[in-house]
């Protein structure tokens, strides 16, 4: 009998969340009957070839039809009043409403209004996969109060959803219900697994690490020839200029090394500050901030660079990485990677075996690691080979999707 699998997400499809559509299509390829419940529409469908190829529009239901602003709040109130008599577990539902209002959690309130809106509908599934903890709560609420009928809810914890202070504060009540009232939690790293068990009091048997990965066959392995005698060591950082990316530390480190050049690709709120920092350090000849670039240009720059640097840090608001896919892609393609002992990154990179790691915010250690590359350039080939093998072994989407499929079959 074909198992029915339902994905619960906030938006679908989202270009920056390719891991969702990759999992959807991988499970369809393996014969599962897959459907998607998403809160909001996006404009990315035409930019995602697999959306059309797999006819995902026929498998997709958008749940949140409420307007934004005051009109939407009125629509939600009407839905709550009109359909309250249809809600299951009314006392728990009222309590959930109370905490949503108390914690000013409008997103949770919208979820509860969705439960009321779909109280006369029935969504049947064997296994529900939710990406990000708030969407796990949506699935929990739909099953407890309303329309969802399923055996297993499994929620994947990624990054901001389990680290950002304001998210943890606002969703504290809902997370406690999710952890206690669903069957599986699938953090993307051992770091998040420990957090779910030790801070959120999740039962260890419920927690199973499910890495995100890359399609390894999409990356031709071209080991970079790091030769200081042939010119500057070219470092590159790609990503939004936000605090957790730690790009200021990359600039400071490169400014203190010889025979190096750093290119930074991507927009973001800190881009101007980074430009000013490079100017202040008299490093404008060693650091080039390119801003956002077309994908083809980024690929060309990556192919021309020797080292991918991502000195991630825990931001002041608690925001953290999961295990950055950008590092996996760099390792798969043959670049040397420099990063930090941050979040789940040490699960991907072993210091001096598959890359080089520094402590968060340690410019001195970053400088040391860059100089280590320069002074030991001939031994970097082994690190680069090990990095590719690590991704092939532990972060290969084909194997990870097979692991997920087996989890569904055996649940």
pLDDT in tens, 245-300: 999 999 999 999 999 999 999 999 999 999 999 999 999 999 999 999 887 888 89
Nearest of 38, 36, 15, 37 to residue 25 by alpha carbon: 36
Report whether pLDDT(154) > 80: yes
Looking at residue 106, its pLDDT comes to 94
Domain 4-213+396-410 has CATH 3.40.50.2000: yes
Nearest of 364, 342, 181 to residue 355 by alpha carbon: 342
- For the chain, give every residue range classified as CATH 3.40.50.2000: 4-213+396-410, 216-394
CA 241, 242, 246, 248 dihedral sign is: positive
Query: Average pLDDT, stretch 347-355?
Result: 98
Report whether pLDDT(152) > 80: yes
Give the DSSP per-residue string, 217-233.
Answer: GGS--------GGGS-E
Confidence of residue 5 (pLDDT cuts 50, 70, 90): very high
Contact call for residues 330 and 347 (beta carbons, < 8 A): no
Q: What are the tens digits of pLDDT across the range 63-111? A: 999 998 999 999 999 999 999 999 999 999 999 999 999 999 999 999 9
The partner residues of 261 in beta bridges, in order of sequence, read: 234
- List, in sequence order, the alpha helices (H) in 103-219: 106-117, 133-145, 160-163, 165-170, 172-181, 190-198
Where residue 51 falls (left for φ over 0; alpha for ψ -120 to 50; beta otherwise) is alpha
Looking at residue 49, its pLDDT comes to 87
Cα within 13 Å of Cα(138), Cβ side: 28
Looking at residue 378, its pLDDT comes to 87
Nearest of 62, 88, 66, 87 to residue 76 by alpha carbon: 66
Query: Average pLDDT, stretch 296-308?
Result: 92
Q: pLDDT: is 48 or 103 the higher one?
A: 103
Structure tokens at 123: 């969504």
Looking at residue 295, its pLDDT comes to 79
Q: Of 290-294, 360-364, 366-370, where does mean pLDDT reach its minimum?
A: 290-294
Query: Average pLDDT, stretch 344-359?
Result: 98
Query: Average pLDDT, stretch 160-172?
Result: 97
The partner residues of 223 in beta bridges, in order of sequence, read: none
Looking at residue 46, its pLDDT comes to 74
Angle at which helix 172-181 crosses helix 133-145, to 10 degrees, equals 70
- Whole-number Å distance between alpha carbons of 140 and 126: 14
- Whole-number Å distance between alpha carbons of 38 and 62: 5
pTM of the model: 0.94
Structure tokens at 55: 């006819």
pLDDT over 90 for what percent of the chain? 91
Report whether pLDDT(44) > 80: no
Contact call for residues 309 and 233 (beta carbons, < 8 A): no
Query: Average pLDDT, stretch 306-331?
Result: 97
Report whether pLDDT(45) > 80: no
* 362 to 171, 184, 315, 403: CA distances (angstroms): 33, 37, 14, 37
Class of domain 216-394: alpha beta
Looking at residue 232, its pLDDT comes to 94
**For all residues of the chain together, what is the average pLDDT?**
95
């Amino acid at each position: 009998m074909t198992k029915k699998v339902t994905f619960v997400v906030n938006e679908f499809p989202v270009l920056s969340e390719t891991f969702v559509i990759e999992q959807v299509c991988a499970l369809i390829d393996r014969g599962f009957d897959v459907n998607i419940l998403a809160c909001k529409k996006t404009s990315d469908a035409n930019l995602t070839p697999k959306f059309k190829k797999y006819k995902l529009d026929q498998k997709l239901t958008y749940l949140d039809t409420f307007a934004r602003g005051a009109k939407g709040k009125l629509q939600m109130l009407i839905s709550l009043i009109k359909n309250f008599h249809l809600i299951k577990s009314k006392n728990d539902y009222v309590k959930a409403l109370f905490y949503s209002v108390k914690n000013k959690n409008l997103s949770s309130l919208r979820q509860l209004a969705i439960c009321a809106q779909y109280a006369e509908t029935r969504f049947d599934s064997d296994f529900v996969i939710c990406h990000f903890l708030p969407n796990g709560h949506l699935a929990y609420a739909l099953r407890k109060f309303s329309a969802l009928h399923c055996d297993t809810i499994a929620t994947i914890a990624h990054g901001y959803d389990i680290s950002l202070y304001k998210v943890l504060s606002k969703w504290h009540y809902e997370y406690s219900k999710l952890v206690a009232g669903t069957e599986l939690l699938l953090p993307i790293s051992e770091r998040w697994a420990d957090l779910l068990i030790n801070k959120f009091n999740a039962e260890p048997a419920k927690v199973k690490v499910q890495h995100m990965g890359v399609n390894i066959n999409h990356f031709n392995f071209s080991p970079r020839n790091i030769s200081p005698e042939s010119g500057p060591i070219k470092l590159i950082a790609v990503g939004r200029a936000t605090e957790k990316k730690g790009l200021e530390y990359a600039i400071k480190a490169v400014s203190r090394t010889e025979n190096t050049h750093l290119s930074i690709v991507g927009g973001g709120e800190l881009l101007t500050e980074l430009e000013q920092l490079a100017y202040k350090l008299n490093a404008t000849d060693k650091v080039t901030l390119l801003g956002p670039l077309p994908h083809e240009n980024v690929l060309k720059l990556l192919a021309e660079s020797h080292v991918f640097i991502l000195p991630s840090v825990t931001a002041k608001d608690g925001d953290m990485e999961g295990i950055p896919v950008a590092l996996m892609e760099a390792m798969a393609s043959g670049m040397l990677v420099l990063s930090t002992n941050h979040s789940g990154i040490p699960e991907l990179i072993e210091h001096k075996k598959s890359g080089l790691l520094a402590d968060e915010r340690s410019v001195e250690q970053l400088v040391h690691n860059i100089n280590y590359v320069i002074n030991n350039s001939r031994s970097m080939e082994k690190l680069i080979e090990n990095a590719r093998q690590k991704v092939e072994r532990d972060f290969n989407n084909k194997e990870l999707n097979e692991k997920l499929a087996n989890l569904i079959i055996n649940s």
